[in-house]
Amino acid sequence: MTASTPLWAKGLPLDEAIHRFTVGEDPQLDLALLPFDVQGSAAHARMLGEVGLLSATDSGALIAALAELKPVTERRELSISAAQEDGHTALEHALIARVGEAGKRIHLGRSRNDQVLLALRLLLRSRLLGLTAQVRALASALLDFARTHEAVPLPGYTHLRRAMPSSLGQWGVGYVEGLIEELEAADGLWRRLDRCPLGAAAGFGVPLPLNRERVAQLLGFSRVQRSPVDAMNSRGRHEQAMLDWTVSLAGTLEKLCWDLSLYSTEEFGFVRLPDAFTTGSSIMPQKRNPDVLELARGRCRELRGIADWHRQIVSGLPGSYHRDFQLHKRPLLAGMDAAAATLDVLTRLVPVLQVNTARCAAAMSDELYAAHQAYVLVASGQTFRDAYRQIGEAVMAGRFVPDRAALSATHTGGLGALGLDSAASELKAVESWIDERRKQLDAVDARVFAS
């Protein structure tokens, strides 16, 4: 086996065009997977040594070499040649170069199928935790904005027409609540990912006394993905769940971008974007454009397209492994990168938004209080339908003058009870959840690479 021989090679000729076509983008895309492939391989080598399938000497040599390779792969300094085909081959060749014959034993008891399943599962856990932390950071920034501007009046809009009185505090905490819902969904997604597939091999297990539970424990999984058949059938399933989560998240982010873009126009003027968050026009000297909001909004639609792209690749296939799955790595990585970039810029923007309280107050016209005034009449004994008609006639006749201070919404979520403290408490719980999961992942290297 040379340093350019694929793991599956049997000495038979392969057409060069076929080789290029089948290799595709794997030498570039697998760089993102290599650190996790190293981590999973170290756990595998340790388990093989413990059950007697590898000698203590070979197991120790492999683990030591993998520990050396981990930072190299994190810096993306372990290259993958087109001849090697993928990261698995590059990693095995790197081990052989370091420890000789022992490197040829690392593949014992596993297939590239469950090897990549594990690397993807480890990658997804890490990226989900990172994205969750970003969502929490954006929600916290919006909560701080809501607290600071809790009482600043703001028209509430339906159909982009003024509807009822609101406030910047109510507007901001509304997005906090939406993000909290996505954070709750992330917990469910984490539980889906918290199953170790290694040991499934090509989808049928192997006739060896593997200790799959030990590998799961080393890598910080709560359990083994029991069925090898299901493990192979899950290729693409968990990745699709991750991308669908980003799409759901994008639904909230897109509306946030839309509102800020609208509210920062000269016509509304409720907020102003700092100059550092705008760009200029190549022809109009006065223009400052909200490109960051427009591109973030576009990213949200892009995430929907990426998720559909991924779904088209992984759907419509029979059970077990098929080479089609090689193609799903690009949309998976692209989707997670796009979500992370969008969350980053919005989290930077929210704390520096500049509020024009005078423009907000000036927009609070009398007709916003029409429903409130109808409720004043209801309190005096009228039916709502009669009160509704009476106030409508007054508005149309131009003689409507409401008592703006007569009523206030004191129910949960109303202007008098925004629930800011409850939202803060829930975000604190999410922070604790993230810290616990982070400790869980941080402890993995200490276990798998221990000498």
Where do the domains of the chain lie? 16-108, 120-200+227-363, 366-397
Sign of CA dihedral 319, 324, 329, 335: negative
DSSP string of 256-274, one letter each residue: HHHHHHHHTSTTT-SEE--
- Asked if residue 105 lies in contact with residue 66, where contact means CB atoms within 8 angstroms, the answer is no
User: What token pair was written down for 397?
Assistant: 């006749």
User: From CA 69, how far away is CA 62, in angstroms rounded?
Assistant: 10
SS3 for 355? Answer: strand
Strand ranges (E), 218-298: 223-224, 271-272, 279-280, 288-289
pLDDT of residue 8: 46
Q: Which residue do the tokens 């423009």 mark?
A: 359
Sign of CA dihedral 87, 221, 245, 422: negative
Per-residue pLDDT tens over the stretch 301-314? 999 999 999 999 99
SS3 for 195? Answer: strand
- Asked if residue 433 lies in contact with residue 180, where contact means CB atoms within 8 angstroms, the answer is no
281 part of the active site: yes
- Asked if residue 417 lies in contact with residue 411, where contact means CB atoms within 8 angstroms, the answer is yes
What backbone torsions phi and psi does residue 153 show, to the nearest 5 degrees? -70, 150
User: Nearest CA to 278 among 70, 270, 255, 286?
Assistant: 286
User: From CA 54, how far away is CA 208, in angstroms rounded?
Assistant: 12
Q: Which residue do the tokens 């060896």 mark?
A: 208
User: What token pair was written down for 378?
Assistant: 């209801």
Q: Find out if CATH 1.10.275.10 is the number for domain 16-108.
A: yes
Q: Is 113 exposed, middle or buried (0-12, 13-18, 19+ CB in 10 A)?
A: buried
pLDDT of residue 231: 97
pTM above 0.85, yes or no: yes
Whole-number Cα distances in Å, 182 to 132, 136, 302, 307 = 9, 10, 19, 17
Beta bridge pairs of residue 114? none
The H-assigned helical ranges of 365-415 are: 370-379, 384-397
pLDDT of residue 285: 84
- Asked if residue 240 lies in contact with residue 310, where contact means CB atoms within 8 angstroms, the answer is yes
User: From CA 78, how far away is CA 31, in angstroms rounded?
Assistant: 8
What backbone torsions phi and psi does residue 234 show, to the nearest 5 degrees? -85, -5
User: From CA 41, how far away is CA 45, in angstroms rounded?
Assistant: 6
Q: How far apart are the first and last CA of the chain?
A: 29
Whole-number Cα distances in Å, 214 to 58, 66, 202 = 18, 18, 20
Per-residue pLDDT of the chain (451 residues; tens, 9 = 90+): 455 565 545 555 668 888 889 899 999 999 999 999 999 999 999 999 999 999 999 999 999 999 999 999 999 999 999 889 899 999 999 999 999 999 999 999 999 999 999 999 999 999 999 999 999 999 999 999 999 999 999 999 999 999 999 999 999 999 999 999 999 999 999 999 999 999 999 999 999 999 999 999 999 999 999 999 999 999 999 999 999 999 999 999 999 999 999 999 999 999 999 999 988 888 988 889 999 999 999 999 999 999 999 999 999 999 999 999 999 999 999 999 999 999 999 999 999 999 999 999 999 999 999 999 999 999 999 999 999 999 999 999 999 999 999 988 899 999 999 999 999 999 999 999 999 999 999 999 999 999 8
Q: Which residue do the tokens 């703006």 mark?
A: 404
Catalytic entry in 55, 281, 315, 408: 281
pLDDT of residue 16: 86
User: From CA 202, how far away is CA 109, in angstroms rounded?
Assistant: 10
Label the pairing between strands 288-289 and 223-224. unpaired
| Helix H or strand E segment including 357 | helix 357-362
Q: Phi/psi zone of residue 159: left (φ > 0), alpha (ψ -120 to 50 degrees), beta?
A: left
The amino acid sitting at 163 is A
The H-assigned helical ranges of 156-283 are: 168-193, 212-218, 228-233, 237-263
Q: Which residues contact 95 (CB under 8 A, 6 or more apart)?
A: 62, 65, 66, 69, 102, 103, 106
pLDDT of residue 281: 81
**Alpha carbon 206 to its chain's center:** 34
pLDDT of residue 18: 86
User: From CA 19, how far away is CA 43, in angstroms rounded?
Assistant: 31
- Which CATH architecture does the domain made up of 120-200+227-363 adopt? Up-down Bundle (1.20)
pLDDT of residue 9: 54
